[in-house]
Amino acid sequence: DIQMTQSPSTLSASVGDRVTITCRASQNIYNWLAWYQQKPGKAPKLLIYKASNLESGVPSRFSGSGSGTEFTLTISSLQPDDFTTYYCQQYYIYSWTFGQGTKVEIK
Amino acid sequence: QVTLRESGPALVKATQTLTLTCSFSGFSLHTNGMCVSWVRQPPGKALEWLTLINWDDEKFYTTSLKTRLSISKDTSKNQVVLTMTNMAPVDTATYYCARIRGPNDAFDVWGPGTMVTVSS
């Protein structure tokens, strides 16, 4: 099974900061990677698909990059609504795995 | 508008079988490429992918739970059913169903989730 490792587990930042979350795959997944945002008590929300494609309706301050085994989610200027948890997910060849999550908290 | 909603028991006893139903609208599992998946999340923990069924009735299961899981679809009712046998307290979690809009695509629309508690 493909393992996904996110870092950091927790990130402390301030409104307006640029933040980056990293996700590493245990094998080459090309660009079959998605990023989700999850708020407490709610279902995950798709932000980015195929590593760098912004889902419709998602603010442009979110961006994704990477291919192969290393990927990043960047929030260019943190807004109050962005302080929550983010997950990466690989979906390569009929296999789906989530990372362990990154919580973005207020510094 | 695409919507999904999970339903089933909130409480089951250890060793029992859990059956959850995902009722959806706004798309059809007849459509080439469409899939529905189940994901769970224990309290305070990460998301865990469980199983997926596609338009062609192909079924995929996470390796660690493969012997306990079963997924099926009723296309006429727009429903997907998850069955998990031999439930244990560690299976206490919120269970989500989600749509995949095409082959090799992300989970674009999710249900609100249903919390299932397993008592010993």
Q: pLDDT averaged over chain B?
A: 96
pLDDT band for position B104 (cuts 50, 70, 90): confident
pLDDT tens digits along B68-81 = 999 999 999 999 99
Report the C-alpha gap between B103 and A46 in whole angstroms: 16
Torsion angle (degrees, nearest 10) of CA B8, B66, B105, B76: -50
Positions of chain A with pLDDT lower than 70, given as ranges: none
Contacts of A59 (CB under 8 A, 6+ apart): A79
Calculate the CA B36 to chain-centre distance. 8
In this complex, the residue of B48, B60, B113 whose CB is nearest that of residue A94 is B60
Mean pLDDT over B108-119 rounds to 98
Report the C-alpha gap between B24 and B19 in whole angstroms: 16
pLDDT for the residue A94: 84
- A43 φ, ψ (degrees, to nearest 5): -75, 155
Q: Kindly list the residues of chain A whose beta carbon comes within 8 Å of any beta carbon in chain B.
A: 1, 32, 34, 36, 38, 42-46, 49-50, 55, 87, 89, 91-92, 94-101
Contact criterion met (CB < 8 Å) for A43 and B106: no
Q: State the CB neighbour count (10 A cutoff) for residue A35.
A: 30
Mean pLDDT over B93-101 rounds to 96
pLDDT band for position B95 (cuts 50, 70, 90): very high
Q: Single out the residue of A104, A39, A16, A49 nearest to residue B102, CA to CA.
A: A49
pLDDT for the residue B108: 97
Report the C-alpha gap between B91 and B37 in whole angstroms: 17
Q: Is the pLDDT of residue B101 over 90?
A: no
Burial B100-116 (b: 16+ CB within 10 A, else e): bbeeebbbbbbbebbeb
* Rg of chain A over all Cα atoms, to the nearest angstrom: 13
pLDDT for the residue B112: 98
pLDDT band for position B43 (cuts 50, 70, 90): very high
pLDDT band for position B96 (cuts 50, 70, 90): very high
Mutate which: B107, B108, B109, vs A, most A CBs within 10 A:
B107
Q: Is the pLDDT of residue B103 over 80?
A: no
Report the C-alpha gap between A26 and A24 in whole angstroms: 7
Q: What is the DSSP string of A12-70?
A: EE-TT--EEEEEEESS--TT-EEEEEE-TTS--EEEEETTTEEPTT--TTEEEEEETTE
Contact criterion met (CB < 8 Å) for B46 and A101: yes
pLDDT tens digits along B2-39 = 999 999 999 999 999 999 999 999 999 999 999 999 99
Mutate which: A10, A21, A96, A100, vs B, most B CBs within 10 A:
A96
pLDDT band for position B102 (cuts 50, 70, 90): confident
Report the C-alpha gap between B102 and B105 in whole angstroms: 5
Q: Name the DSSP class of B77.
A: G
> Which two tokens mark B88?
């244990």
